[in-house]
Structure 1
């Protein structure tokens, strides 16, 4: 996989390239927004790691240009020193798939890169709302509505529910879930993961009569399936 990295500071580009290469991916660095745009117009990448403040076109301008111009767009992970909620929201609405505020530990950055590539973000954009049968998710407000009624979830419960719906009918390993939701490669207590999944299942009433069901794949992980595809493992 090829990942483009754009930041106005060469040392940051070098640092991020090291992280990407340690994950086994190819990295191409840019320190100028205009140069990045010229490349994106004729070349493809599996992921773009994008700073906000750059000479030439800035990160937000590049996001908007990608949405309006490119027939196929790589998912974008914003990595910037802007941490205000309004900036995060603006970047997500403009098309970013995820957002990291500097500085951040390299292990966390590596985990977020891997999670984005695993969860099928490639070639997709950030949808602020998504509907799955009777379930409607608002990813900006991190709220879930079931038949129009709002259901209170914690931040981790929402991330877990969103990740399951993004990967409906796909079996997810415990490690996959741990890295995507808890952004760590360390061992997560089994009871922590199981407890969160149990709460999501219960709060959202994920049962066949509502169109979806979370199945336990013994010895491996979990799977959210549509009711018509429910089966035993």
Structure 2
């Protein structure tokens, strides 16, 4: 899983990388809040780890932007030297999902990150179907219907299509699609496979202006599903 780490102390960034990388987490590091915000406009992560005291803008302002832009879908862990009860309450009320104070042991940090991801990704009671305009996704049978007519998709094509519709208007990176649909479990899996499945989904669901939806490629990044009109 991909982790965004915001901390202006290079020693702390190295510490987080050393703590999480052996467990399979892929960390991307940022020294300034504005750099992270810019990146989060087009990149996708499983979790964000924030420091509070930064050189440009404070971490609680970064958190507010994340909640305004991503809502509650992106887990945020505060990791900071600020340890007063007032600061902890402030951060949690601002939308942080968890809070740890420096210094923290590597095993504790790993446990908090893993627990937070389990908690936020715990399966919820899913509806039997989701509808997007004339498209209906039967989640139990993994079937798609357009205007009442079944559309023949493979299991992976269904998952790719559902991911696009569930993130309507949001850019999705190829890496995020791989993480979500294939979970890195397929030997020889490449982002080229994503492009091929996107092409099949576009053709089989006729995601063109006449259907009301189009898949927009984002050069060097991924794709975004847009609804017209």
TM-score by length of 1: 0.50
Q: How far apart, in 2, do the equivalents of 1:38 and 1:73 lie?
A: 18
Q: Deviations over 1:47-96 (max 9, x none)?
A: 00110011222210001111222357420010000000110011011110
Q: Show structure 1 runs of 5+ residues with no match.
A: 122-162, 169-233
Give 1:18's aligned residue. 18
Question: After superposition, where does 1:100-115 map in structure 2 within 5 Å?
Answer: 100-115=100-115
Q: How far apart, in 2, do the equivalents of 1:77 and 1:12 lie?
A: 14
- Kept in 1, the 8 Å contact 2:75–2:120? The answer is no
- Kept in 1, the 8 Å contact 2:19–2:106? The answer is yes
Runs of 4 or more above 4 Å deviation? none
Give 1:49's aligned residue. 49
Report the aligned-residue RMSD.
2.2
Give 1:62's aligned residue. 62
SS state of the match for residue 100, structure 1?
A: strand
Q: Show structure 2 runs of 5+ residues with no match.
A: 126-229
Post-superposition offset of 1:117? 1.3
Give 1:27's aligned residue. 27
SS state of the match for residue 39, structure 1?
A: helix
Which structure would you say has the larger Rg? 2
Q: How far apart, in 1, do the equivalents of 2:85 and 2:71 lie?
A: 29
- Kept in 2, the 8 Å contact 1:20–1:110? The answer is yes
Give 1:92's aligned residue. 92
Aligned length: 126
Q: How far apart, in 2, do the equivalents of 1:75 and 1:49 lie?
A: 9
TM-score by length of 2: 0.51
Q: How far apart, in 2, do the equivalents of 1:12 and 1:105 lie?
A: 12
Q: How far apart, in 1, do the equivalents of 2:36 and 2:29 lie?
A: 9
